[in-house]
Chains A and B, each alone.
Chain A
Amino acid sequence: MDFILQPWPWFISGPLIAFVLFLFFYFGKNFGVSTNLETMCTIAGAGKVSDYFKKDWKERDWALVFLIGLVIGGFITANYLSNSVTIDLNPKTVQELADLGFTNAGDTFVPNEIFRIENMLTLKGFAVLLIAGILIGFGTRYAGGCTSGHAITGLSSLQLPSLIAVIGFFIGGLLMTWFLFPLIFG
């Protein structure tokens, strides 16, 4: 039981993610999460504005059920399967984040500096969250997939578009982390 309560090492986690991929295909579906953002837009009524969203979302009801499962899985782990959150970060990372104004890096899953409730009430705090979301939504749909669809499913099935997409993920991620963070938070 103690092992379950501790954070899991990468060589356990990675193969377990592959096991999730296996079950998706075994149940006759493809592994990918970001298509659900389109389904959610369809449910919210986006089909009235654009034909792109005129789809029968009921064909993807199983995927929405999966999303509900993700929320429940997060809840169960947070409340019953963890003894502490502390993330074993590289001390250099902790120091660099402190220099950027992010204190106590690794004591929680996400930094208070971005995910504090009060941030939703400030223009900058709200804008950071909303813009990050817009970039995620627009980017995954334009690229045709996210980490699960491109980086894991696409790369492992040796698809060239996924390799290009993953290179893009890194160009964007490096730009944000190395150049834009100091401008946004510095």
Chain B
Amino acid sequence: MKNLKFLLLGVFFGIVLTKSEAISWYRIYEMFKFQSFHMYGIIGSAVAVSMVLMYFFKNGTIKDYLGNQITIKEKKKGFIKTLVGGTIFGLGWALAGACPAPIFVLIGHGIFPIMIVLIGAMLGTFIYGLLSNKLPN
């Protein structure tokens, strides 16, 4: 099964997100209240280590498992869409205390009401899809 590695990667990431407490609504609240370094430490150190990895990806020192150059997808440009979209996401992130990956991890924890958040997220994605041509970039 070619996708087994992604299953295991998901399991591993689910464990890391739980043990780091990044799936905790309280940790997100505390972060936005600037009352703890915990989440800043997690995200900051993840970004710092990733920057080193990106350097080696870009200069070709680290190649993918097939020996190909690793390319990083360019994010779509657009000031309004990233700022407004980001702000809307931030409102939801703080309210639910979960971003997309933790939503799935919390399902595994048996937190059933998070399914409503997931359905809402699909609905929000659907609304975006319907409006995507009409929204400013």
Known: A69-B14, A73-B108. A152 touches B117 (CB 8 A): no
For A71, the chain B residues whose CB sits under 8 A away are: 10, 14, 104-105, 107-108
User: Are A176 and B32 in contact (CB-based, < 8 A)?
Assistant: yes
Closest chain A residue to B129, Cβ basis: A52
From the candidates B39, B81, B116, name the one contacting A130 in the complex (CB within 8 A). B116
Contact with B along A38-60 (1 / 0, CB 8 A): 10110010100110110000000
From the candidates B3, B12, B42, B116, name the one contacting A126 in the complex (CB within 8 A). B116
User: Are A115 and B101 in contact (CB-based, < 8 A)?
Assistant: no
From the candidates A69, A146, A168, A173, name the one contacting B8 in the complex (CB within 8 A). A69
A144 to B25, CA, bound (A): 23
* A76–chain B nearest beta-carbon distance, Å: 7
* B10–chain A nearest beta-carbon distance, Å: 2
A17 to B50, CA, bound (A): 9
Interface size on A, residues (CB 8 A): 128
Contact with A along B93-123 (1 / 0, CB 8 A): 1111111110111111111111011111111
User: Are A110 and B18 in contact (CB-based, < 8 A)?
Assistant: no
From the candidates B32, B89, B104, B135, name the one contacting A136 in the complex (CB within 8 A). B89
User: Are A49 and B45 in contact (CB-based, < 8 A)?
Assistant: no
Which residues in chain A, 125-183, are within 8 Å of chain B measured between CB atoms? 125-126, 128-162, 164-178, 180
The answer to the question of A23 belonging to the interface, with a C-beta cut-off of 8 Å to chain B, is yes
User: Are B130 and A50 in contact (CB-based, < 8 A)?
Assistant: yes
A115 to B19, CA, bound (A): 20
Among A10, A37, A38, the most chain B Cβ lie within 10 Å of the Cβ of A10
A65 to B6, CA, bound (A): 6
Known: A90-B36, A110-B111, A144-B85. A21 touches B7 (CB 8 A): no
User: Are B32 and A174 in contact (CB-based, < 8 A)?
Assistant: yes
* A140–chain B nearest beta-carbon distance, Å: 5
A134 to B42, CA, bound (A): 26
Q: Mark B residues whose CB is within 8 Å of A.
A: 2-33, 35-51, 53-54, 57, 62, 64-66, 68, 70, 72-79, 81-101, 103-114, 116-130, 132, 135
**17 pairs across A/B with beta carbons < 8 Å?**
A14-B45, A14-B49, A25-B57, A27-B65, A37-B100, A41-B122, A70-B11, A70-B105, A71-B104, A72-B7, A75-B108, A77-B15, A129-B114, A139-B124, A142-B81, A148-B100, A176-B90
